[in-house]
Amino acid sequence: MLTNPTTDKLRSLKLPGMVNALAHQAETPDLHKLSFDERFGLIVDWEFSERESGKLEQRLRLAKLRQSACIEDISFEEVRGLDRSLVAQLSTGKWVQDGLNVIITGSTGVGKSYIACALAHKALRSSFTAWYIRAPRFFHDLTVSRLNGTYTKTLARIAKIDLLLLDDFALVPINEEQCRDLLEVVDDRCNKKSTILISQLPVENWHQTMSNATIADAILDRLVNSSYKLCLKGPSKRKEVKVNGKSK
């Protein structure tokens, strides 16, 4: 049995996982049959797992995902027209590593945000960072940052995020200032960081929502050409009665 001074020293070294692992081993007689190396390996594994779990919790908190969603819970009902093989490919996370994008379109309530959050959750589990925000709030925050003198810092912060999720994209017209802001963000991230765009409008209608046609060309060229596309169909899932209350 460990003495209090030993556990106190482990805690002072910020190794609570090792303290918990040692307590577990002390209470599990079967583990006493293992060699020293095997038992020590289990102790290190416990500490590592607790640290990784803590890091994931922090990434999830900072990501501010709209829904608690998992790839494993996505529904592939035929009516949705969802490509199972493409979702499986995206679930590997290689697209985030390669700085590619995902565009998810479909009418309201078909589960676009759920799938986007599920992809983001998988990326977070793979140690990437993510941030979810609705496009209207995104543009508002950029305008505020310009007014309070933090615009450059805000752009730099966004540029570092591995996966940016913009929901309700092109839901309302995008004015010229917002077009310029979006081009700055997209240009910083192009081929380096990934973006998920979620929209009720089909991609071919995005251009007409942007007030500056020239900037719109530049934005869409950087976004669309390096994107996987998921177009959801079917009735609104919000009308369905579900036990868990989620649109998957």
Res. 242: pLDDT tops 70: no
pLDDT of residue 11: 82
3-state class of 132 per DSSP?
strand
- Whether this model's pTM surpasses 0.85: no
Q: Tokens in use for 85?
A: 């093989």
* Mean residue pLDDT across the chain: 90
Please tell me the CATH code under which domain 64-239 is placed: 3.40.50.300
HEC string for 54-69:
HHHHHHHHHHCCCCCC
User: CB–CB of 167/113 below 8 Å?
Assistant: yes
Which residues lie below 8 Å from residue 168, measured CB to CB, with a gap of 6+? Answer: 134, 135, 136, 198, 199, 200
Longest dimension (CA), the chain: 73
Q: What is the pLDDT of residues 123-132, one digit of tens each?
A: 999 999 999 9
Q: Which residues neighbour 148 within 8 Å (Cβ) at sequence distance 6 or greater?
A: none
Kindly report, residue by residue over 130-151, the tens digit of the pLDDT. 999 999 999 999 999 999 999 9
Nearest to 223 by CA among 180, 201, 193: 193
Cα distance between residue 215 and residue 226, in whole Å? 17
Tens of pLDDT, residue by residue over 159-194, are: 999 999 999 999 999 999 999 999 999 999 999 999
How many C-alpha atoms does 153 have within 13 Å on its Cβ side? Answer: 6
pLDDT value at residue 187? 97
Query: What are the sequence ranges of the domains in the chain?
Result: 4-61, 64-239
What are the residue ranges of helices labelled H in 64-125?
84-90, 94-97, 112-125
Of the pLDDT bands very low, low, confident and very high (cuts 50, 70, 90), residue 14 is confident
